[in-house]
Amino acid sequence: MENYVARLNEYAQENRLSLQYQDVGCDGPDHLKTFRVRAVIDDQAYPEGLGKNKKEAKKKAAENAWRALMQEHRDSETQTENAGQSPSTPSQAPITRTNFVAWLNEYGQKNRVSVKLVESTRPGLRGAELCCRFVVGDQEYPDAVGKTKREAKEEAARLVYNEICGAEEPTCCDVAGDVLAGASTPKSTIEACEMLDTKQSSDVKRRIRLAPNFLNVRRNSKEENMSNFSDKMRLNEETPSRFTSEFNSIVLLAQGSFGYVYKARSKLLGKEMAVKIVHCDDFRKALREVQALSELNHPNIVRYYTCWLEDAGYEGRLRSAQDSTLKYLYIQMELCSTETLRKWINKKNRNQNQWRKEESLSVFTQIVSGVEYVHSRKFIHRDLKPENIMFSSNKEVKIGDFGLVTAEADDAADLVKRTVYKGTPRYMAPEQKEKETYDRKVDIFALGLIYFELLWNFSHEERREVWKNIKTQKTPAAFSGSYPFEDQLIKRMLSMKPEDRPEAEAVKRELEHNPSCERTTV
């Protein structure tokens, strides 16, 4: 049976087109429902697919879209032949400019974060202007305007690219990396934004094949695939899931290339927990977060309870039906609020109030307290950022996502060789990007950037220039005037040389003795 979903996905990736499946609805009584799904390629909707379930309807929608594309191709071929030109297949269409919408769509699919388009209008010189902006995960990006919806959408996607990748105009992007809003991922975000070197052939850019090669998949016999799938399912039936046996009221909170995070209620305790399910392609790396969390017990760090292995992810989310050695690590942790520090900062930026300085000091002091404890236990977090900092139900700060945690050398003079570019580029210290040897001071650099964001509201127009300057200890003049104590502290935390940055303990001590603020609750 033809795999039209795979074919359509490959076609969209090769031609840098955005591909989405929309649930149109369902008809009929509960026991005999008919689901309707349609494929949308670059704002072009194709005939709906019908099925007894959403999966079947999606397959039919992909088939309808593929057949429609082939018909369009045949029509184009006929016109081309009539004009005396040689025809070309859809996958051979040249790409003459960067398609940011396609990049963003593929980025969202590969990193398993939601990508939502928000449309609005605003008054302009020539009447109402169409505005578009994207919400990626929990992060909102700036508005963009255009003469048409498509133009505004493309410009909005370009602004997202600039924020994530820190580059104005890519030649081609590889989105094999990952970023998770609200919960970071083990791989560096920079992999998602890596520029691929391409050369110009006349005025046409050389296309880079990003799509997976499905030819090898098709060579496997249907009987062999079904046999392996049946073996896997039998294994799951023979081994009851501890997750579903011990928990109920299971709700998905977040997902990324690392796996999934669920809110679930313990049947025994009657208490809600967070359960993170991680793909164990590399068992040692998967256990790194658990080993660190099991040694950390601090009020400002997400609390770890236990972990276990299973042969499958929840709701049958199997990464590879043919890999019988694949395991899933389940990590049971303290449940935090869905509000991250990134959301907290965005909310403060939208609603300025006179208590922001005091509230920011309270939040930041708790973050520093947690980092001080992590360092005292000889660990380096390596991925501190607002998306990885959460709040408990009683508004207490909680540092989470220890997926990139690494052990500190026992002897401070004996720096351990580490992987370059591990973390999120936006918050990386200089030595973290360029060197194989660095220590806990990379966390201090990230803290300096976070403290600046907590205190200062700067527009998206200013963002690139301000962020570039702040990393070289150049704070805005207005910031220095409004926050003289904080300005000097942040500049020391952002020192180019790690040895010039204060320890977390010293930062905490200075904050506690800062006479300019009286601490308040958030």
Write out the DSSP string of 222-277: HHHHHHHHHHHHHHHHHS--HHHHHEEEEEEEEEETTEEEEEEEETTT--EEEEEE
**HSE value, Cβ hemisphere, 13 Å, CA-based, for 122:** 9
CATH topology assigned to domain 113-163: Double Stranded RNA Binding Domain (3.30.160)
- Summarize the confidence of residues 292-316 as an average pLDDT: 87
- Summarize the confidence of residues 236-247 as an average pLDDT: 76
Alpha carbon dihedral 425, 430, 434, 438, in 10-degree steps, equals: -110
Report the C-alpha gap between 452 and 494 in whole angstroms. 11
More confident residue, 506 or 234: 506
Highest averaged pLDDT of the listed ranges 36-45, 106-115, 375-384: 375-384
- Summarize the confidence of residues 210-220 as an average pLDDT: 41
Other CB atoms within 10 Å distance of the CB of residue 102:
23
Highest averaged pLDDT of the listed ranges 92-96, 215-219, 246-250: 246-250
- CATH homologous superfamily of 338-521: Transferase(Phosphotransferase) domain 1 (1.10.510.10)
Q: Tell me whether domains 4-70 and 241-335 share a fold.
A: no
The mean predicted confidence, pLDDT, of the chain is 76
* 3-state SS, residue 62: helix
Here the tokens at position 76 are: 């184009």
Give the model's confidence band at 43: pLDDT under 50 very low, under 70 low, under 90 confident, else very high: confident
Of 472, 463, 514, whose CA–CA distance to 494 is shortest? Answer: 472
More confident residue, 310 or 322: 310
**HSE value, Cβ hemisphere, 13 Å, CA-based, for 11:** 21
Report the C-alpha gap between 151 and 149 in whole angstroms. 5
Classify domain 4-70 by CATH number.
3.30.160.20
DSSP string, 104-130: HHHHHHHHT--EEEEEEEEEETTEEEE
pLDDT at 515 over 80: no
Given the DSSP bridges, would you call strands 115-124 and 127-136 parallel, antiparallel or unpaired?
antiparallel
| CB-based contacts of 467, cutoff 8 Å, min separation 6 | 426
- What pLDDT sits at residue 218? 41
Give the model's confidence band at 373: pLDDT under 50 very low, under 70 low, under 90 confident, else very high: very high
Domain locations in the chain as residue ranges: 4-70, 113-163, 241-335, 338-521
Report the C-alpha gap between 181 and 174 in whole angstroms. 19
CATH architecture of the domain covering 241-335: 2-Layer Sandwich (3.30)
In eight-state DSSP terms, residue 99 is: -
More confident residue, 344 or 12: 344
Is-contact 153 180, C-beta < 8 A?
Answer: no
Is-contact 101 43, C-beta < 8 A?
Answer: no
* pTM of the predicted protein model: 0.55
Using H for helix, E for strand and C for coil, what is the string for 314-364? HHHCCCCCCCCCCCEEEEEECCCCCCEHHHHHHHHHHCCCCCHHHHHHHHH
